[in-house]
Every structure is written in structure tokens, then in C-alpha cells.
A = this chain, B = another copy of it.
Amino acid sequence: MNQAFIYDRTINFRDTDAAGVVYFANGLALCHEAYEASLAASGINLKSFFRGEAIASPITHASIDFFKPMFCGDRVAISLTATQLSAESFQIEYQLYFNGEEERQKAIAKALTKHTCIDTSTRKRCNLSEELLQWIKLTQ
């Protein structure tokens, strides 16, 4: 999946703010959409995954660096790589490019999210599920 998987997204009006560009926190929301699309592409059911029916993997850290502004109508390509950090945690690194400019141009933004798996009944940390481990491999 890794080389092939690119999340392709047109910037919507709702993503922008009165300065005319994407509202900064929405930059991270775009990355999360890429994460969702990547999970779905590996066969994970998004509805049960994100309702946290048995295990949840909430975000404990998120960061983003912006190099260029994004405007309504811009087409953005997002790639990601997931890495296991411990038995109970993983991180995802994201790169955003203007569509068609990958590798040739500077990124629009780079972002990172860290996730810890918890058992939703006890709220205690637990090991990554088998489907998450498989997805991590696919992104590498």
C-alpha cells in the first residue's frame, strides 16, 4: 500500500477561515482523514473502529508544521507512514503536497500524531490489535 496509497483531497470552503486559507487545526483534520482512508483501504471497518467498541486508540500528541498556505479548491495529496512505538502505542507521520508536486516540490505541511491503545471497558492501556499491526506494516 505504502507507495501507492495517497489520500487525494480538494480543499473545501468549510476548511478555510477569514484569512482566506485553511484554518490551522483543519490541517490536522485533513491528516486524520488520510489515516481513516488508509485504515479503510486495509480492510478495517471505520464505524466500529472509531466508536471504540472494544479497543480505542485515542491521540495523545499531535503536531503540524506549515510551509505554504492552502486555498479553497487546492488539490492536496497526503501520504503517511505508521510506526509502532511500544506494545501499546504507535505514531503516524504525514506529508502534504499539492497534487502532482510530490517529491519535486517542498511539502505544504508535515504532521505527526501519537496514539495509545486502551481497553474501552477498563480505560487501561492494552496491546495494539492484530488489525492495527497489519495496517502499520502496510504503511511502511
Contacts and interface: CB of A to CB of B under 8 A. Distances in A.
Interface string A117-133: 00000000000000000
A116 to B, nearest CB: 10
A102 interface: no
B50 A13 contact: yes
A73 interface: yes
A32 B24 contact: yes
A20 B18 contact: yes
Contacts of A51: 18-20, 72
Contacts of A29: 12, 14, 23, 25
Nearest to A56: B19
A69 B47 CA distance: 12
